[in-house]
Amino acid sequence: MSVEEAKCVAFVESSNVARKLKINEHVLFETDHVGLVNKLNNLPNDVTIIGAQIKECIAALNFFKFAKLIWTER
């Protein structure tokens, strides 16, 4: 699994935790993987494995009234 794939899986899992805690209003997710942020915020037609996972990440964001993924330098 690539770093990008691992970060994507971690994001989906953090979204699942927020949903289980019934946090569904304004949510801000952070990651130190700028490529993931760019792909999520500028989703082109990507037919790769990571593209499919990115679509899953987008679907996870759609649960919340407002949610954003931002890059945070670590």
Is the full-model pTM beyond 0.75?
Answer: no
* Helix, strand or coil, per DSSP, at residue 51: helix
Q: Cα–chain-centroid distance for residue 65?
A: 15
Instruction: Give the span between the Cα atoms of 34 and 32, in whole angstroms.
Output: 6
- From the number of C-beta atoms within 10 Å of its C-beta (0-12, 13-18, 19+), residue 9 rates as middle
Block means of pLDDT (10 residues each) for the chain, 74 residues, are 86 90 86 80 63 79 84 81
pLDDT at 21: 92
Residue 69 parent element (H or E) = strand 66-71
The model's pLDDT over 34-55, given as tens digits with 9 standing for 90+, comes to 778 877 777 666 546 677 787 7
